């Protein structure tokens, strides 16, 4: 029996998926709205609300960027010509062009009542540029022991806003895959989570979300992004009465070969879900997988491991 194809279906099946997608310009506002919605009745509600407020400030930074130097366009071009991530975090973080973004964040964020948060903000405010650079480099390199955990969400938020702005601001952006599937082609940072798309010619495809610049890149499904194995992968979700088996909007893909896992958001089962907020709202799943001996390699820059 033959089936008529609509013109857009023919086009969809004849084109390769886009390798990367830029974040929508209202990404941080979306994160804020999701976090505030998820906070209601959640055991970590206060924390989710605090991060939600922080994402709202990130959106304001993106909408009205602070006066700050931009990365040298010649170097960006040179990186692209050599197939390197143009916004490579390890060199750009040393440049310090992100520092005005932290200043602006500290200025625009209205301090909540919690003394611990006020103390963290004061520490960041009073720190010299060199000290901030040392912390930022430690955070982006995954060396969490070298950065006070209370500073992480604020430092991470400022870095994300700066890199996202630079990403959206780059003319004629061309990206090529890195040697590791888990590495962002735009800035070289590790993925925070994956999203399974549900619409149009990207329906059913997996895109990974960068922990830093928020770029998304395509990686085939049912493949461990850390060791490239496909056999024996398991999918785990938190038991909730809202979702039947195989319907959970957030599942962890865990690998029996390298004992790593990655969280995946299935938009088909929750069209308004978003990776960063979904990740922070399901830290109980991380605890469970940790107890089962699985290692989380995906950073969330608004959370210091072990300090929910
Ligand atoms: Fe990135
Ligand atoms: Fe693996």
Query: 284: domain CATH number?
Result: 3.90.1670.10
Residue 171: other Cβ atoms inside 10 A: 7
- Assign 79 a pLDDT band (cuts: 50, 70, 90): confident
Task: Note whether 211 and 141 are same-domain residues.
Answer: no
Whether 19 maps to a domain, the answer reads no
* Predicted local distance difference test score (pLDDT) of residue 17: 86
Q: Domain of residue 281: give its range.
A: 191-296
- Assign 10 a pLDDT band (cuts: 50, 70, 90): very low
Per-residue pLDDT tens for 15-52?
788 999 999 999 999 999 999 999 999 999 999 999 99
Task: Note whether 96 and 229 are same-domain residues.
Answer: no
Q: Note the ligand closest to the C-alpha atom of 164.
A: 1
* pTM of the predicted model over 0.75: yes
Q: Do strands 260-266 and 216-218 pair parallel, antiparallel, or not at all (unpaired)? A: unpaired
3-state helix, strand, coil in the chain (%, to 5): 45, 10, 45
Task: Note whether 153 and 196 are same-domain residues.
Answer: no
Cα–ligand 2 centroid distance for 1 (angstroms): 41
Task: Note whether 68 and 201 are same-domain residues.
Answer: no
Q: Note the ligand closest to the C-alpha atom of 228.
A: 2
Q: Note the ligand closest to the C-alpha atom of 163.
A: 1
Q: What's the total number of domains in the chain? A: 2
Cα–ligand 2 centroid distance for 270 (angstroms): 27
**How far is 259 from 119, CA to CA, in rounded Å?**
37
Choice among 6-20, 165-179, 228-242, 274-288 with the minimum mean pLDDT: 6-20
Cα–ligand 1 centroid distance for 65 (angstroms): 19
Task: Note whether 148 and 80 are same-domain residues.
Answer: yes
Task: Note whether 164 and 196 are same-domain residues.
Answer: no
Per-residue pLDDT tens for 111-140?
888 899 999 999 999 999 999 999 999 999
Task: Note whether 247 and 159 are same-domain residues.
Answer: no
Task: Note whether 200 and 161 are same-domain residues.
Answer: no
> Which of 169, 203, 222 lies at the terminal end of a domain, its last residue?
169
- Assign 6 a pLDDT band (cuts: 50, 70, 90): low
Task: Note whether 121 and 75 are same-domain residues.
Answer: yes
Contacts of 237 (CB under 8 A, 6+ apart): 243, 248, 250, 251, 252, 285
**How far is 208 from 143, CA to CA, in rounded Å?**
22
Per-residue pLDDT tens for 194-237?
999 999 889 999 999 999 999 999 999 999 999 999 999 999 99
């Amino acid at each position: 029996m033959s089936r008529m194809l609509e013109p857009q279906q023919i086009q969809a099946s004849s084109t390769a998926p886009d390798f990367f997608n830029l974040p929508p310009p209202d990404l941080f506002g979306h994160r804020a709205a999701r976090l505030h919605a998820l906070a209601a009745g959640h055991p970590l509600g206060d924390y989710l609300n605090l991060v939600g407020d922080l994402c709202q400030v990130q959106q304001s930074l993106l909408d009205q960027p602070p006066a700050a130097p931009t990365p040298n366009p010649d170097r960006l071009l040179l990186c692209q010509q050599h197939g390197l991530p143009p916004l490579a975090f390890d060199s750009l973080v040393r440049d310090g062009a992100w520092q005005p973004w932290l200043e602006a964040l500290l200025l625009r964020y209205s301090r909540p009542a919690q003394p611990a948060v006020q103390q963290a903000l004061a520490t960041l405010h009073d720190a010299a540029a060199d000290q901030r650079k040392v912390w930022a480099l430690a955070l982006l390199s995954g060396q969490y022991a070298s950065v006070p955990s209370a500073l992480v969400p604020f430092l991470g938020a400022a870095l994300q806003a700066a890199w996202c702005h630079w990403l959206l601001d780059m003319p004629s952006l061309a990206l090529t895959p890195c040697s590791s599937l888990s590495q962002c082609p735009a800035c070289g940072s590790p993925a925070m989570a994956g999203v399974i798309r549900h619409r149009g010619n990207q329906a059913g495809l997996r895109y990974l979300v960068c922990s830093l610049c928020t770029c998304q890149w395509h990686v085939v499904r049912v493949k461990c992004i850390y060791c490239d194995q496909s056999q024996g992968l398991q999918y785990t979700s938190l038991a909730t009465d809202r979702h039947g088996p195989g319907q959970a909007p957030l599942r962890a893909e865990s690998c029996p070969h390298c004992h790593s896992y990655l969280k995946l958001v299935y938009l088909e089962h929750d069209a308004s879900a978003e990776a960063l907020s979904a990740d922070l709202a399901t830290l109980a799943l991380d605890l469970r997988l940790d107890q089962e001996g699985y290692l989380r390699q995906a950073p969330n820059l608004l959370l210091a491991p072990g300090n929910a």
